[in-house]
Amino acid sequence: MKKVKACLIAFALLIAPMQAFAEELINCVVPENLGSSDNLSRGFYIDFYPGETLDQVYLFFESNTVGSGSYRLTVRDNTFDGELLGTAETDYGFSMTGLPVPVLFDFGRISITSGSRITFAIEQLSGDANTFYSTLGAAEGCPVIETNGTTPPLSTDRGVVHAIIIGASEEPMASTASLENPGDGANVSGINTISGWVCDANVVEVEIDGSILVEAAYGTPRADTMEVCGDANNGFGLLVNWAIFGDGAHTIRLLADGIEVASGTFTVTTLGVPFLVGADGSFILPDFPEGGQTVTVEWSQSQQGFVITEFTE
């Protein structure tokens, strides 16, 4: 019982801070049976996956030698030779023998088809620890099924695996956001800022034409978003020279933590070069913005466009 209690304490310390942002989809921990173990050459599968994302997998490892190891957990669709869905690698050091400890494999919230079968294979990449993972003969309601090996399509069932599966039962909702500049269908030129706001994200990225992906500065004050977001640090911005994309129509997507939250199209007009050097000029625009008013504009090389230098009524 002492061994089980120590293992559960270690498990509680690891799992407690995670619950705020993760959803436990499967819990196959049976404390009184954590002493049983098997070789890493075995595989396991889940016949009907209960979620739409896979974020983290906790397996209970033990070693009969003090040492460390590097491990890879691979997940595939349907069978052991099915489509590769994701891999996760981790390192762990064993300071004592015979004690099962929860080892985390982080898949980074990959997409899984709800209700599908997924298979897992473990591999020790390096290290001097002689490692096993915890299993038991049977457990009521545990859907993590161990196999004899990882020979396609599926090897013979052996029992079940002690595992905690973290994911989401639904796809994450897109964050509330607005791509203000450029507006959908806008004409752009010169050097300007792609800007707008996103209520909640760790990383905000801008994708142009499906191939250029750049992270934007995020978290600047936007008091006008307080009502919809509940806070104000939601602004983002990315300085761009529109001419580098070339004349014509282009597409833009705004991504919050990899999820599309806004999109649109814009049209670029250039002066024939990516950056015009040596040009100079000042021009008067009569009756602008209203009759009887006059605006003077001057070419700015640093902004690759015209700026207002004088306004008279």
CATH number for 223? 2.60.40.650
Q: Within this chain, do residues 60 and 98 fall inside the same structural domain, yes or no? A: yes
- Point out the domain boundary residue: 168, 203, 219: 168
Q: Is the entire prediction scored with pTM above 0.75?
A: no
Q: Which two tokens stand for residue 203?
A: 């990383």
Print the domain residue range for 286: 282-312
Residue 258 has pLDDT above 70, yes or no: yes
* Radius of gyration of the CA atoms of the chain, in A: 28
Q: Which two tokens stand for residue 41?
A: 């050459």
From the list 173, 161, 178, 57, the residue with the least C-alpha distance to 107 is 57
- Band (pLDDT 50/70/90 cuts) for residue 103 is very high
Compare 112 and 98 and report the one with higher pLDDT.
112
Give the mean pLDDT of the chain.
88
For 18-33, write each residue's pLDDT tens digit: 333 358 899 998 777 7
List, in sequence order, every residue forming a beta bridge with 103; answer none if it has no partner.
59
- Band (pLDDT 50/70/90 cuts) for residue 67 is very high
For 140-170, write each residue's pLDDT tens digit: 679 999 999 999 999 888 889 989 999 887 7
Q: Within this chain, do residues 36 and 156 fall inside the same structural domain, yes or no? A: yes
Residue 14 has pLDDT above 50, yes or no: no
Is the residue at 274 inside a domain? no
Angle subtended at Cα 109 by Cα 105 and Cα 110, rounded to the nearest 5 degrees: 100
List, in sequence order, every residue forming a beta bridge with 217; answer none if it has no partner.
237
Look up residue 224 and give its DSSP letter.
Answer: G
Is the residue at 1 inside a domain? no
Q: Within this chain, do residues 264 and 287 fall inside the same structural domain, yes or no? A: no
Q: Within this chain, do residues 160 and 47 fall inside the same structural domain, yes or no? A: yes
CA quadruple 91, 17, 134, 31: dihedral, nearest 10: 150
**Per-residue model confidence (pLDDT) at position 140:** 67
For the ranges 17-21, 59-63, 232-236, 246-250, which has the lowest average pLDDT? 17-21
Give phi and psi for 192, each to the nearest 5. -150, -175
Compare 16 and 200 and report the one with higher pLDDT.
200
Q: Domain tally for the chain?
A: 3
Ordered DSSP codes for 111-125? E--TT--EEEEEEEE
**Per-residue model confidence (pLDDT) at position 170:** 72
Cα 235 to Cα 221: distance, rounded to the nearest angstrom: 6
Q: Within this chain, do residues 92 and 37 fall inside the same structural domain, yes or no? A: yes
**Per-residue model confidence (pLDDT) at position 147:** 94
From the list 25, 92, 83, the residue with the least C-alpha distance to 60 is 92
From the list 218, 217, 210, the residue with the least C-alpha distance to 252 is 210
Is the residue at 275 inside a domain? no
From the list 202, 197, 204, 203, the residue with the least C-alpha distance to 234 is 197
Cβ neighbour number for residue 230 with a 10 Å cutoff: 10
Look up residue 114 and give its DSSP letter.
Answer: T
For the ranges 102-116, 136-150, 239-253, 270-284, which has the lowest average pLDDT? 136-150
